[in-house]
């Protein structure tokens, strides 16, 4: 099975200059914990620049007493993030999630344009066994991971 078959298509993203308060509001309205940060190219396509998560907002914005209306997402986002390609096998992406200890990944096409998001929950809908094994590995302490 390919990631494109289980991902949530049409992921919303924000630009790096958007304030953290706007990003937090979008996350609240969409009931999500991670929001891709994208830059638009000359053909109006979104290229992934990073990810802002609820943890980034808490640890890098609130805990550092940054002004939410004046702080751009780029100042608190995770810039080097892991992603999946839409044509990758789900099992391969699960292993990537396990190794990197992340529960959600942006999904790109081979031109590296954002096309969706895949989460451990998406995997769970397809296979409880695979998602259970992945959750066990992702939750192991002591590994360094991005905040996605």
* Structure-token pair, residue 88: 């990758």
Tokens 């000359």 sit on residue: 42
Give the pLDDT confidence of 37-60 residue by residue, as tens digits: 999 877 777 789 999 999 999 999
Answer yes or no: are the C-beta atoms of 55 and 148 closer than 8 Å. Answer: no
What is the rounded CA–CA span in Å between residue 126 and residue 68?
38
Q: CB neighbours (10 Å) of residue 65?
A: 6
pTM, two decimal places: 0.79
The Cα 48–Cα 53 span in angstroms is 14
Q: Taking 60 as the threshold, does the pLDDT of residue 126 lie above it?
A: yes
The per-residue pLDDT of the chain, averaged, comes to 85
Which pLDDT score, from 0 to 100, does residue 60 have?
A: 93
Express each pLDDT in 65-110 by its tens digit.
Answer: 999 999 999 999 998 889 999 999 998 998 898 899 888 999 999 9
Average pLDDT over residues 8-37: 94
Closest CA to 78 of 98, 61, 99, 97: 61
């Amino acid at each position: 099975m390919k990631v494109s078959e289980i991902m949530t298509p049409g992921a919303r993203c924000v630009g790096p200059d958007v304030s953290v308060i706007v990003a937090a509001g979008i996350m609240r309205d969409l009931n999500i914990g991670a929001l891709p940060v994208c830059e638009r190219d000359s053909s109006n396509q979104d290229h992934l620049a990073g990810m802002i998560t609820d943890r980034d907002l808490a640890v890098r914005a609130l805990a550092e007493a940054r002004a939410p209306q004046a702080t751009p997402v780029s100042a608190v986002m995770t810039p080097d993030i892991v992603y999946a390609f839409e044509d990758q096998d789900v099992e391969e992406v699960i292993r990537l999630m396990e190794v990197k200890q992340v529960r959600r990944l942006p999904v790109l096409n081979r031109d590296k344009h954002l096309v969706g998001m895949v989460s451990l929950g998406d995997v769970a809908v397809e296979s409880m066994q695979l998602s259970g094994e992945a959750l066990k590995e992702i939750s192991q302490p002591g590994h360094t991971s991005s905040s996605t």
